[in-house]
Amino acid sequence: MDDCDGSVLGTLKINVKFSGRSIPIAISEDSTVSDLKSLLQPLTNVLIRGQRLIFKGKVLKDDMTLKSSEISSGCKIMLVASQGLHQGDGPIIKEGSEASRATRPTQRMIAAEPVREPARKQLMLEHWKRTGVIPLQVLQLEAIPTDVWNCGTSARVLDLTMNRLCEIPAQIGDLRSLQKLYLNANELEDSCICWEAIASLNGLKILSLDKNYLTTLPSSLGGMTNLKELHLTGNRLSSLPIEIGFLSQLQILKANSNRLTSIPSSVGDCNSLAELDLASNLLSELPETLGNLRNLKVLHLTNNGLKSVPSTLLKKCSELVTLVLHGTEITEDVLRRVTTPLLKVLFSFILSPFFYALKLKHQKQIDFGVGLSSGFDECADGD
């Protein structure tokens, strides 16, 4: 490692090397190594227990202070991430790297799908009007064909999955009888969508926006009170609008593989919600109002920085049958504190001493990500 500059009293300014980039950190010299890992977690997507910090060839211990570890301003520390111990979609990698470019939906689609004949030749307007279904998926469309708008009130389903759309214009509001709208795997950004027009589709029951480039959702989303399914997987959302609580008919909400750092408490007002998928985000806590979801059956929390679940969740959500906690820091002791006696018995069965013995046996493989058995799972799922 490089030598350090002279330390500055009080606050240390250090650089952490990770995945080909340098992360500047300002932190008190009295902070512990564990405190430093907590700062690095949202910046790298690597869970605290998956981080190894190396300074001058030695692995830093969590309970030591930076001062006692002889770390001063200007020092450089190496972060090594253990395989599989990350939240979100994986460790944040260097912008513009080969891995980043290879995973962009646009490039994958261009490589997978050859350019076809002009879409207009394939349009079957009369068939669309007769069936009410407009299938335009995987056509490399850069704009929605104008013939679509001619279907008017005849259209019930519009599928534009896996195209190259950059805009959803106001004409979408002309399809007043639309019930299902699929916009998955396009190139849609926040400003590209006429949300007012989509919100005016009073009969819309399914809205799917998976694998786009959305960072926020508008408050007008709360006006879609007949919506039953909302799919937002694989975007760049950092939050959900408070108005989502107005979706009283919503049964399925999938917002996994985003960058969510919190969930609005208003989600507890979605009384019909049966499936909630928040896996692979940056969540460190959940609102107590999740306990109001009396119809909730499935809750996915995989790969988040959670250390506990709301005490109301396992006490009030009587319909809950599937709780997935892979890749979190929630332990059996935490679950015991928030469950009823009946559920304690259930978790005791799931987390039997056999699993703990197996975990201890493979602890080294878990920590360093080598030689893992495909049959071993350290998680505490309740299914």
CA distance 91 to 279: 15
What fold characterizes domain 116-350?
3.80.10
pLDDT tens digit sequence for 164-222: 999 999 999 999 999 999 999 999 999 999 999 999 999 999 999 999 999 999 999 99
Tokens 């007949």 -> residue: 226
Among positive and negative, which fits the CA dihedral 240, 254, 272, 290? negative
pLDDT of residue 247: 97
Those residues of the chain that have pLDDT short of 70 are: 1-9, 83-123, 337-383
Q: How far apart are CA 104 and CA 95, in angstroms?
A: 12
Structure tokens at 377: 């799972």
Question: What dihedral do alpha carbons 29, 35, 37, 39 form, nearest 10°?
Answer: -90
C-alpha distances out from residue 152 to 180, 207, 296, 344, 380, Å? 14, 18, 36, 55, 50
CA distance 141 to 161: 10
pLDDT of residue 377: 42
For residues 290 and 311, the answer to whether their CB atoms sit within 8 Å is: no
Distances (CA, A) of 380 to 2, 48, 297, 334, 348: 42, 18, 17, 11, 10
pLDDT for 313 equals 85
pLDDT digits (tens, 9 = 90+) for 254-299: 999 999 999 999 999 999 999 999 999 999 999 999 999 999 999 9
Q: Which residue has the tokens 């260097």?
A: 94
> Under CATH, which number does the domain 11-103 receive?
3.10.20.90
CA distances from 106 to 3, 162, 314 (A): 43, 9, 41
Q: What is the pLDDT of residue 12?
A: 86
Q: Report pTM.
A: 0.64
C-alpha–C-alpha distance, residues 231 and 237, integer Å? 12
Q: What is the pLDDT of residue 47?
A: 82
The partner residues of 28 in beta bridges, in order of sequence, read 11
- Please choose, from the candidates 236, 204, 229, 225, the residue with its C-alpha nearest in 3D space to the C-alpha of residue 88: 236
Calpha distance 367→244 (Å, rounded): 39
Locate 290 and state its tokens.
């999740």
The pLDDT value given to residue 123: 54
- What's the rounded Cα separation, in Å, for the pair 15 and 209? 38
pLDDT of 344 reads: 43
CATH topology identical between 11-103 and 116-350? no
| Residue 111 CB contacts under 8 Å (≥ 6 apart), including other chains | none
Domains in the chain: boundaries: 11-103, 116-350
> Is 138:162 a contact under the CB 8 Å cutoff?
yes
Q: Which residues contact 191 (CB under 8 A, 6 or more apart)?
A: none
Distances from the Cα of 267 to the Cα of 48, 248, 281, angstroms: 28, 10, 17
Strand partners, 181: 158, 207
